[in-house]
Chains A and B, each alone.
Chain A
Amino acid sequence: MSDAAQADLPRARIATVSLAGCFGCHMAILDMDERLIDLMKLVEIDRSPLTDKKRFTQRCDIGIIEGGCCNEENVHVLQDFRRNCDVLIALGQCAIMGGLPAMRNAIMHSDEPLRECLDEAYITGRYIRNTTHNVPNDPALPLLLDEVYPCTQVVEIDYQIPGCAPEGDFIYDTLLKLLTGRFRGFERDKIKFD
């Protein structure tokens, strides 16, 4: 892409957030290395862990979501993103499908799967050293959802970038194509994992 073409485009505002993920997808964004500088010619970053801004300062063009929804705060933030961004991108497997956190959805043959999950994590698990024998319940802790939801079940998602985590190059290429209106879907070898 030529410098002249870049100069014509107003910089897009981008917001990012990590919900029920491992922050790996954000690390993958940083993995673009020095191309971040190229990218910054095209975008400016609003609310994001990368800027440490906790709130939207204005409406954004693109929201990038890492992770699915495992608690009420995730839902609240995701809905906030939907209201404040024109386009939402689910980045990585957790945002798209629930990913590793969604393993707890596999506790099915129980009357109270959530309680069973918490008990095992904090009380009955074999390698737990929890002298209080209590499940943490500070008022500051958001309530957990009954199961882990992929983002698309909570709000409408416009694009998905698959991978765990997606490679930095892949994120860079895709964002660049989206920003310049050249995105036509992924190459087959990029979304085939076996």
Chain B
Amino acid sequence: MDNGQQAGNGVSKTACCVIHVPDGAIAEICERFGNDKHRMLDILREVQDRFQCIAPATMDRIAEETGLTRIEVEGVASFYSFLSLQPKGRITIRLCDDIVDRYAGLEAVTAEFEDVLGIRIGETSPDGAVSLEYTPCIGMCDQAPAAMVNDVVLAGLTAETARQAAEAIKAGKRPEDLVSDRFSTLSPHERAVRMVDNNIRHAGAVLLGPVPEDVGLSRAVSITSAQIISTIEDSGLRGCGGAGFTTGRKWRFAAAERAERSFVICNADEGEPGTFKDRVLLTERPHLFIEGMTIAARAVGAKEGILYLRGEYVYLRELLEQVLEERRRRGLLGKEILGTRNFDFDIRIQMGAGAYICGEEGALISSCEGLPGEPKTRPPFPVNRGYLGYPTVVNNVETFCHAARILDQGASWFHEMGTEGSHGTKLFSVCGDCLNPGIYELPYGHSVRELLEMVGGQDAAAVQVGGPSGTMIARDSFHRKLTFDDLATGGAIIVFNGQRNVLEIVEYYLSFFVHESCGYCTPCRVGNVFLQKAIQKFRKGLANPEDIDYLKDLSGTIIETSRCGLGMTSPNPVLSTLENFPLVYSAMTKPGKDGIRDTFDIQSAIDGARKIAKRRSYIFDRDFTQ
């Protein structure tokens, strides 16, 4: 995932020898996951957690145990940003480096951590105690700046609280102790809400209002799978992850496949910067989305399910394990659910490891299979041939929650909410420059202006709808409606006031895509770097008017020639601001003089040679000896 940006990734032999990894421990970890190559990500995460590093010798050993080649293991280990080939500290502090965090005072927070710990971003303390690094959005934009300290989340940091936390870590306190002195006595749910505020500002009728337990599931076992699917189809439910595919059709396709096994996967890898709705559902409605998964399993005849939880939400893992266990105990998961013959279904949790691309359906399946999170070529679609080649339904957390409620309340109840083509309610995660950032459950069809009034963001000058891969709109478009047909969104609404620099935001989002591109398609791997450089040119005031055409051309090429959604949407920050903020761009361009490029700086270009030759340039430097 780092595309080799971490210099010398492969040559860490000397450094890694510091940590002694007993051979038996690796064998034991592999054994625990059945020496299964498809559980590679779990194996590597475990090794990383215990030894803070995946050393070359370790990779050899893992390859031996799982029957893979060394390079395949290294391919996975080097792909995910939470796995490290260099030794990390026993405590890794990851500061969330989203644009919202930057505007909320990340710089001051970083300064405190660096000052107290005596290391800079990207460094590990010499005694191997602490590592400090930046990470893209960790899903806490409503309480920025935020940080992860190993598995613990610190939200709403200020310079003072950051200094306290850093001092406590330096004094040798465990990360849990930063949350509460009696952490071990708290329940998993208490721990989660103690760390992260859920900020539910508006509860709607479907998800965040009162929800009766497992009524939908009881109804699902009383009808046939065909009836379940037609109920979901009649409700008009569309996927809530961003793409908006009709859920009922997806289930129907999967159900139509004849196969020995099939799978239901819940996509809880919400990596889109500014999105944190799934975090709230996972914390407050865990039973509901698992109920939805169970219903989907009955509809398509799946016996196995996977919950793909993003690495940043590891603090919710305990809570979710507990919920799964409880449901198994109550006969809501496992063999013969609710006493129904031939209805077996169980779920395992697959932890991610810090890769945005894994939110893409194909990449998510690759990741579950223990491979680097690279998207798959479509067709075949996952509903036909997905996880391990079997039919697989992948839906977002919110979609499963909706499905469970639809089975409970009926298709027409859901269909009547929202607008034509966009039925039901949607969770909007609002953050940025507004008074009340948090979660709003609203029926589809509200205008952006109405939403801004609700959240206290009346002085907004720009709103990013749907995260970086969505659309950025200006004041003249605030009348537009939040529906699939107008402004489609996976839920992220980021508000920027008039003091924010649009081009700075665009450049940040491009740097995010540069970091998160899996590198498979050249136009995405290279093109996004070029886009970012071109925007830097604009920011420095060195752009010519024809550079605007270059931006459009290059964006078009990236969109057309990338195989997954990342490349198809990564130029959106550029294209949507070009369309909605044209004056920002034209104000930053000026025609070149005499056809000489202002962007080429001869002085910096010859500086290195001047030092090597130890003399001035006889062409471009003045002679001061005269």
Which A residues are within 8 Å of any B CB, using their own CB?
71-73, 75-76, 79, 82-83, 88, 109, 112, 114-115, 118, 135, 137, 139, 141-147, 149, 153-156
Which residue of the partner chain, among A109, A114, A153, A155, contacts B609 with CB atoms under 8 Å? A114
A72-B620, A109-B8, A156-B592 are contacts. A143–B600 as well, Cβ < 8 Å? Answer: no
Q: Does B595 interact with chain A (Cβ within 8 Å)? A: yes
Give chain B interface residues in 590-626, CB to chain A under 8 Å.
592, 594-597, 599-600, 602, 604-610, 612-615, 617-620
Is B619 in contact with A83, judged by CB distance below 8 angstroms? no
Q: Does B7 interact with chain A (Cβ within 8 Å)? A: yes
A115-B608, A118-B612 are contacts. A143–B617 as well, Cβ < 8 Å? Answer: yes
Is A144 in contact with B609, judged by CB distance below 8 angstroms? yes
Find the A residue at minimum CB distance from B618.
A139
Find the A residue at minimum CB distance from B7.
A109
Is B604 in contact with A146, judged by CB distance below 8 angstroms? yes
The 7 A-B pairs of least Cβ separation, nearest first, read A143-B609, A156-B595, A145-B605, A144-B609, A114-B608, A82-B595, A143-B606
Is B599 in contact with A143, judged by CB distance below 8 angstroms? no
Is A112 in contact with B595, judged by CB distance below 8 angstroms? no
Chain A residues in 8 Å Cβ range of B7: 109
CB distance from B106 to the nearest CB of A (A): 28
- Bound Cα distance A71, B599 (Å): 17
Is B599 in contact with A146, judged by CB distance below 8 angstroms? no
Chain A residues in 8 Å Cβ range of B596: 79, 82-83, 154-156
Chain A residues in 8 Å Cβ range of B600: 75, 149, 153-154
Which residue of the partner chain, among B599, B608, B620, contacts A153 with CB atoms under 8 Å? B599
A153-B597, A156-B595 are contacts. A75–B602 as well, Cβ < 8 Å? Answer: yes
Chain A residues in 8 Å Cβ range of B609: 71-72, 114, 143-146
Is B595 in contact with A72, judged by CB distance below 8 angstroms? no
- Bound Cα distance A149, B595 (Å): 16
Is B612 in contact with A135, judged by CB distance below 8 angstroms? yes
CB distance from B289 to the nearest CB of A (A): 45
CB distance from A122 to the nearest CB of B (A): 11
- Bound Cα distance A156, B8 (Å): 37
A143-B609, A146-B604, A146-B607 are contacts. A82–B620 as well, Cβ < 8 Å? Answer: no
CB distance from A69 to the nearest CB of B (A): 9
Chain A residues in 8 Å Cβ range of B620: 72, 76
A82-B595, A109-B7, A146-B605 are contacts. A114–B615 as well, Cβ < 8 Å? Answer: no
A72-B602, A72-B606, A109-B7 are contacts. A142–B597 as well, Cβ < 8 Å? Answer: no
- Bound Cα distance A155, B595 (Å): 6
A142-B619, A145-B606 are contacts. A156–B597 as well, Cβ < 8 Å? Answer: yes
Find the B residue at minimum CB distance from A135.
B612
- Bound Cα distance A103, B592 (Å): 29
Is A83 in contact with B594, judged by CB distance below 8 angstroms? yes
- Bound Cα distance A118, B613 (Å): 11
Is B597 in contact with A155, judged by CB distance below 8 angstroms? yes
CB distance from B522 to the nearest CB of A (A): 15
CB distance from B79 to the nearest CB of A (A): 19
Chain A residues in 8 Å Cβ range of B618: 139
Is B608 in contact with A72, judged by CB distance below 8 angstroms? no
Is B605 in contact with A137, judged by CB distance below 8 angstroms? no
Chain B residues in 8 Å Cβ range of A82: 594-596
CB distance from B298 to the nearest CB of A (A): 52
Chain B residues in 8 Å Cβ range of A83: 594-596
- Bound Cα distance A154, B595 (Å): 9
- Bound Cα distance A139, B618 (Å): 8
Chain A residues in 8 Å Cβ range of B602: 72, 75
- Bound Cα distance A137, B604 (Å): 20
Find the B residue at minimum CB distance from A143.
B609
| Max count, chain A CB within 10 A of own CB: residue among B604, B614, B619, B620 | B619
Could you list some 10 contacts between A and B, CB below 8 A? A72-B606, A72-B619, A73-B619, A75-B600, A75-B605, A109-B7, A143-B610, A144-B609, A146-B609, A154-B596
CB distance from B383 to the nearest CB of A (A): 37
